[in-house]
Structure 1
Amino acid sequence: MERRTFLGAGAGATAALALAAPVAANSAPAVPAGAPSGRDTEALLRRWFRDTYRSLDAMYTDFGLTTDKIDVSGDAPVQSPNTSPTNIGCGLWATVAAARLGVVDGDAMRRRLRRTVAAVERLERAHGFWLNWYDAHTGEVLTEWPETGDPVRPFLSSVDNAWLVTGLRIAADADPALRPRVRALLADADWSFYYTPFDADDPVQHPGQLKGGYWTDDDTYTGHWYGALNTEPRMASYLGIADGTVPGEHYWHVFRTLLPGMGQEQEPAGEWAEVDGFRVWRGHYTYRGKKIVPSWGGSMFEALMVPLFVPEGEWSPHSWGVNHRRHVWSQIEHGLREEDYGYWGFSPANVPAGGYSEYGVDAVGMQTEGYTSKGVVTPHASFLAMPFARGHAVANLLRIERDFGAYHDGLGFRDSVDVRDGTVSGAMLALDQGMIAAALAQVLRPGTLQRPFRRGGFARRVRPLLRREDFGIA
């Protein structure tokens, strides 16, 4: 992988600390000095979106699916052979965003969406859900990893299926001709398949939560449930609650923090409360003087991927709305003050030298062996922050682009940078580019990908739950 020339850490950190000074944890921060504004900012964001969409277009196969990633370290992008439900969902919503931002026309959007839906209709499924890995070029279920030949067990992931369903719902909203086909695809996607009903007499084995997934080769579920509320699997929770296959009470059985004494990153403060007849531990952590509901690992996409689609902050301004901004603030504080990197934005991504790893702010994650930053920043984390702190996110990305050469002209930002030695990833991941595309769409045209999640079961069943949420951190 490439190494780039970059500014000395001391100079970068000094400038970055000045940028961080105005950040307010409860409100939109002031635009940092030196960041573009007005028309210049919009032009820049549109260029970033256009190039990011081109990277996703480069991942699109003749079969109609979006590959897991492309290698951009050579003269031309090289597609990976594999894909997942999440990758396919990213391709769908990015295409809709591209049409609504004028990057492609309506006819091109419809052709792409219909081709992808036709490919999804051909994929093998089990129990109404899609398996976790397919050959992106043929649609066959992947049985061994292309790079190593190691076997791949057939698996139904609740969270990965949630992102495909998200993409399908957005596609159906954008192209009415697809609605009956998507409705047929989702008819058997019953989220109760992953749900374990709550039993107050045995909450350990019957926690009222969603399982991580299901192995189809031996018909067994994973040994864990998704027990943390502020993580990306809550999209599956919302989908199940919205369509009525999972009861609304499920929302109150997921942890804001683990209970005191359970062994977690920080002993939480908080109080017990009764909501909808259920006893809920309203726990929170304190990070650098501010109260926050942690994610599982302390990464950006756990906290901020879901609100690209579900308007949590609008429906719960004094809880989710505050907490989203606190997570942005905590990432800036960690990168610029606590670690003095001079840059910020930590989330699971491609390892700059190759492979994949989790990165985050350990102190705002529940997991005792949490995600640490390790000096690796990933641009998608800054884009996720952009709806909440546009000026700071833009300034951070411009420094990453300038200091490390991490921007690939015509394709967008590479996946990650190790700011300690300047190593820049040679890969672009569909998930990360898909989050960038969705975040830019939300900034440039707010709500454009949220339409399917503002009505129907989301309005009737999810919104009332969020309205009653009280994290106790405002």
Structure 2
Amino acid sequence: MKKTGLLLSLLTLLWYCGAAQTPVQTDLRSFLPTVGRIEAAGYDSHVELRWPAVSGAESYAVYLLRDGKKSLRGETPNLYYLDFVAGLGRNAVYTYRVAALGADGKQLSETPQISAAISDFSDEQLQQMVQRYTFRYFWDFADPLTGLAYERSNDKRADCITTGGSGFGVMGIVAGVRNGFVTRPEAVARLTKIVGALEKLPRFHGAWAHWYNTRTGQPYHFSEKDNGGDLVETAFLVQGLLAAQGYFDGNDAAEKALRDRIEQLWREVEWSHYTQGQNALYWHWSPDYGFAMNHPIKGYDETFVTYILAAASPTFPIDKQVYDDCWVNRKEGEFFCATDFYGIMLPLGKRAQMGGPLFWVHYSYTGLDPRGLADRFANYWEQNRRYTLVDRAYCIDNPYRWVGYGPDFWGLTACDALPEGYRAHTPGVGEDFGTIAPTAALSSMPYTPEESMAVLKNLYRNLGSVAFGIMGFYDAVNLSLGEPRSTESYIAIDQGPILVMIENHRNATVWNAFMKKNDIRRGLDRLGFTINHKTIEYTK
């Protein structure tokens, strides 16, 4: 969804994606698996209730039974309710009934009572809880026809699927298996469905479009001339596919077939076509407009992995000179930052933005392992950690005096804006409007585990009733609008990195799976990278 090299006005144009103004929980009710009777599960600070539909019911009233009294906790049209009860007492048991209400508000029926206990979670338990909820976006909310991820939860176009976001979702399925959210055979079946859809969708010299209409199988135009291949979104998708290929390494026929089909898709991407025969990679190619978009992929931003994959291709590789002449943007202040912010020397980034939005150190590193990774420009683990700490320090400094900013409420990145719109929020002048995206700090968990956990705990324990929903943290939160507000919506490219980067922090599962690929190791070596100051080993 994000294209930082294009005019930032395009980010506002993205609102035409159709961010509806209706609460997301209403939109999502049909996607969750149904239950046969009322269920309750207790977590650290909330109880999740689920119940079966009642014929003729227009809404449901959720009652808490406590000290001989019955108090209304909320009314919802959904078949679920998240009740944040820690303020009533921690480490306690809570008992509920749910009443079905007709159109006239009269009670039709009431469930038996059910109880659940909340208890203090460890950091690891909180992280896995967030992963479990976020996983639902890519499993329960996936497009039923293709298995691919929808662009967003509140899209007026009910049929818009995203390729880059689906790449993060594929890695999220790997994390789901690792954590026992689904079984390995279930995941292989879903991924086989996804790969089958990707084989059929129109490609443009091997690259996929940014969005597709799942009903017609044809691309949705990102902009007038962007109706063909999108090399960066393709890179995010391929990153996910190769991670899945590395993880599902079993000897059974289904896993072997999945690996073989992913390999074929990987080999068919014509990375070198997108150079136009120059020492540059270009973002777009259209069968109608060719390279009319004329947008070279220059750093420093989220597109780093595009060059790694292009150099690693066994069939259509680029030369090292393409990386050196195009990704390494020599424009003053655009690539080489080399500036001290809040006592932190930042090697790379946009100087005027104190680095830039935080997704720049997330997207390319969901599969690509930055630990010890270096070239002559940076040590990328240290670069990413410093980049994150600068964002945090800026929010603590809080030059615009937004409500809530501090050690437990930081993280500027591209996301839905509040009160409306979509923006690439960054430190610096003109791009900070009080909106914090949970994905910013949470997807930085590997780089800043203690600092990111402070944000997670604040968003969940103190702001959970506003910030946390049925598929995890909402896309954005703003505390400076009179009262705390969230978008009550989700975007695939923001949910995916939360799930995957927490997994990489906890177990390095996706990093290890992706870095197994011999092609990737050869491509890194071709571009002059080392790992832990050593030449990268690969099979020639």
TM tier, shorter chain?
0.7 to 0.9
1:237 maps to 307
Distance 1:448 1:187, change over 3 A: closer
2:285 maps to 214
Distance 1:133 1:255, change over 3 A: closer
Q: Deviation per CA, 1:375-420: give whole Å up to 9, x if none.
A: 1110111122110111111111222332363433431000001232
1:52 paired to 2:134: yes
1:107 maps to 185
C-alpha contact (below 8 Å) 2:164/2:493 kept by paired residues:
yes
Instruction: Work out which of the residue numbers 461, 466, 470 in structure 1 matches 2:523.
Output: 461
1:246 paired to 2:328: no
Higher RCO by CA contacts (8 Å cutoff, separation 6 or greater): 1
TM-score, normalised relative to structure 1 = 0.75
CA RMSD of superposed structures (Å):
3.0
Task: Return the alpha-carbon distance in structure 2 between the equivalents of residues 223 and 469 of structure 1.
Answer: 37
1:57-456 aligned within 5 A = 57-64=139-146, 65-71=148-154, 80-142=158-220, 153-173=226-246, 174=248, 175-195=255-275, 206=278, 208-228=279-299, 230-243=300-313, 245-254=317-326, 258-260=330-332, 264=333, 284-296=338-350, 298-316=356-374, 319-339=379-399, 340=401, 341-342=405-406, 343-362=409-428, 372-401=431-460, 402-403=462-463, 405-421=465-481, 422-456=484-518
1:219 partner SS: coil
C-alpha contact (below 8 Å) 1:378/1:416 kept by paired residues:
yes
How many residues are treated as equivalent by the alignment? Answer: 391
Task: Return the alpha-carbon distance in structure 1 between the equivalents of residues 531 and 189 of structure 2.
Answer: 42
1:225 partner SS: coil
Deviation at 1:227, TM superposition (A): 1.6
Task: Return the alpha-carbon distance in structure 2 between the equivalents of residues 217 and 254 of structure 1.
Answer: 25
Q: Deviation per CA, 1:252-288: give whole Å up to 9, x if none.
A: 224556344xxx47xx9xxxxxxxxxxxxx6623323
Distance 1:140 1:223, change over 3 A: closer
TM-score, normalised relative to structure 2 = 0.66
2:106 maps to none
Distance 1:126 1:308, change over 3 A: closer
C-alpha contact (below 8 Å) 1:259/1:283 kept by paired residues:
no
Distance 1:79 1:217, change over 3 A: closer
Q: Deviation per CA, 1:4-50: give whole Å up to 9, x if none.
A: xxxxxxxxxxxxxxxxxxxxxxxxxxxxxxxxxx9711111111100
Distance 1:214 1:406, change over 3 A: farther
Deviation at 1:180, TM superposition (A): 1.7
Q: Deviation per CA, 1:108-151: give whole Å up to 9, x if none.
A: 111111111111111111211112221134533336x9xxxx97
Q: Deviation per CA, 1:277-307: give whole Å up to 9, x if none.
A: xxxxx66233233321343560111123222
Give me the identity figure in percent. 20
C-alpha contact (below 8 Å) 2:388/2:448 kept by paired residues:
yes
Q: Deviation per CA, 1:428-451: give whole Å up to 9, x if none.
A: 001111111111111221143442
1:29 maps to none
Counting helix residues as a fraction of each chain, which structure ranks higher?
Answer: 1
Q: Which amino acid aligns with 1:311?
A: D
Distance 1:283 1:84, change over 3 A: same
C-alpha contact (below 8 Å) 2:500/2:510 kept by paired residues:
no
For structure 2, the residue ranges without an aligned partner over 5 or more in a row are: 1-20, 24-119, 249-254, 534-540
2:219 partner SS: coil
Distance 1:170 1:255, change over 3 A: closer
